[in-house]
Amino acid sequence: MNKKIHLALFLFISLLLAACTAGVPASKAVPEKTPVVDEETIKIGFSMDTLKEERWLKDQALFKEAIEDLGAEVEIVAANGDDALQLTQAETLIQQGIDLLVIVPHNAEATAAIVHTAHRAGIQVIAYDRLVKNADIDLYVSFDNERVGEMQATAILDLVPKGNYVYIGGATTDNNVHLIKKGVFNVLQPAIDRGDIKIVYDQWTEDWSPEKAFLNMTEALAANNNQIDAVIAANDATAGGVIQALEAQGLAGEIPVAGQDAELAAAQRIVGGTQTMTVYKPIQTLTKQAAALAVRMARGETVTTVRSVNNGKIDVPSILLAPIPVTAENMRDTVIADGFHTGTDVYGAANE
Ligand code: BGC
């Protein structure tokens, strides 16, 4: 009797083991990339530089939503402006078996190493919002950053056709910063050449820090005995620092200031009169486009684009979305109409 039970158990366990390994070669017992539960589910890795500025929180939430709407999965990491951390986080995503990597580089040059690592693992890489330099990046999806700068300068030059200008740039490690500055000077240069306007201060802002922008603007004011007629700042965070420095001299609202991003604080400053304009970049369009392309590429589809941007190594197939200039006049028709901010948030419940 005992012997019969042992034999039955032995046969049952042998059958079970045979069923588990049938048809699976030993080296492939664990799938390399796809999750065990559902082999069809595409998994995208999203490596972000930072969540410091308000816009990146929108990018994070809307990109996740867009990927999930497409029936795919996304793993999101942010590196707090730390190059070494961004590299390790990306390597971890690659080891976890993502099908494609989307990256917002902190440092345009340093992230080339991430592209090489991903490619060695057979994973394509999309540069999101910011270009990766000197690497075989597969696709670049962003806004037209040169246009951003042109829009800023056009708006300010209309108001101040003659006078002393201050330029407060962004972080030099970010490729967008150079494109924005190029756009600004495309528009300003003829007025500079005519002698109508003079750039009396021109400085970058390390890591886009509003505190550094405040210090730079304070320096610009001191060096020019407050004789400044207009300021162009590379984004709303740095424009915030500039306006604090103007406030300290009782000049906020007296001197036109441009920014970009349509951050809530900037929208409030615009309707309040201390900031002149911002450039609105509909993040919802960027996330949807990037997510759709990421999933298509991860499925093996070839994506072709009309435009390309040279990154020092190759002409990267590129999609550059249109930015929109925003002042107090078109605030309702743009950021509020799109639901980017509510009227109550921008104007306050009492004034809406
Ligand atoms: C983005 C801006 C942002 C800035 C700072 C740039 O690359 O295009 O929208 O304000 O980085 O994070």
Atom of ligand 1 nearest to the CA of 130: 7
pLDDT of 34 strictly over 80? no
Instruction: Give me the phi and psi of 148, to 5 degrees please.
Output: -55, -50
Residue closest to 251 by CA, chosen among 230, 234, 267, 270: 230
Question: CA–CA distance from 189 to each of 13, 160, 183, 199, 207 (Å)?
Answer: 81, 14, 10, 10, 27
Over residues 149-188, the pLDDT tens digits come to: 999 999 999 999 999 999 999 999 999 999 999 999 999 9
**Ligand 1 in reach of 150 Cβ (< 6 A):** no
Cβ–Cβ < 8 Å for 234, 242: no
**Beta strands 73-78; 43-48: pairing state:** parallel
CA of 235 to the centre of ligand 1 (A): 7
Contact 263 CB / ligand 1 (< 6 Å)? no
86 CB less than 6 Å from ligand 1? no
The pLDDT assigned to 40 comes to 80
Radius of gyration of the chain (CA): 26
pLDDT at 13: 42
CA distance 288 to 143: 13
Coil, strand or helix at 65? helix
Residue-level pLDDT at 47: 98
Q: Are 239 and 259 in contact (CB under 8 A)?
A: yes
Please work out whether the CB of residue 130 comes within 6 Å of at least one atom of ligand 1. yes
Helix (H) or strand (E) holding 73: strand 73-78
Nearest-atom index, ligand 1, CA of 145: 8
Report the 10 Å Cβ neighbour count for 120: 9
Mean pLDDT, all residues of the chain: 91
Tens digits of residue pLDDT in 110-139: 999 999 999 999 999 999 999 999 999 999
Q: Which of 154, 325, 340 is nearest to 263 (CA)?
A: 340
The finding on whether 261 has its CB within 6 A of some atom of ligand 1 is yes
Ligand 1: nearest atom to the Cα of 180: 8
Give the pLDDT confidence of 252-310 residue by residue, as tens digits. Answer: 999 999 999 999 999 999 999 999 999 999 999 999 999 999 999 999 999 999 999 99
The alpha carbon of 159 and the centre of ligand 1 are apart by a number of angstroms equal to: 25
Q: Does residue 176 have its Cβ closer than 6 Å to ligand 1?
A: yes
Work out whether strand 100-103 and strand 73-78 pair parallel, antiparallel, or are unpaired. Answer: unpaired
Q: Pocket of ligand 1, candidates 51, 55, 320: which has the most ligand atoms within 8 Å of its Cβ, to mutate? A: 55
Answer yes or no: is the C-beta of 49 below 6 A from any ligand 1 atom. Answer: no
Q: Is the CB of 55 under 6 A from ligand 1?
A: yes
Which among 144, 98, 139, 141 is positioned nearest to 122, based on CA atoms? 98
**Residue 166: which of 238, 215, 221, 214 has the closest Cα?**
221
pLDDT at 38: 52
Closest CA to 205 of 219, 221, 186: 219
DSSP of 120-160: HTT-EEEEESSPPPSS--SEEEEE-HHHHHHHHHHHHHHH-
**CA 207 to ligand 1 centroid distance, Å:** 10
DSSP state of 254: T
175 lines ligand 1 (CB under 6 A): no
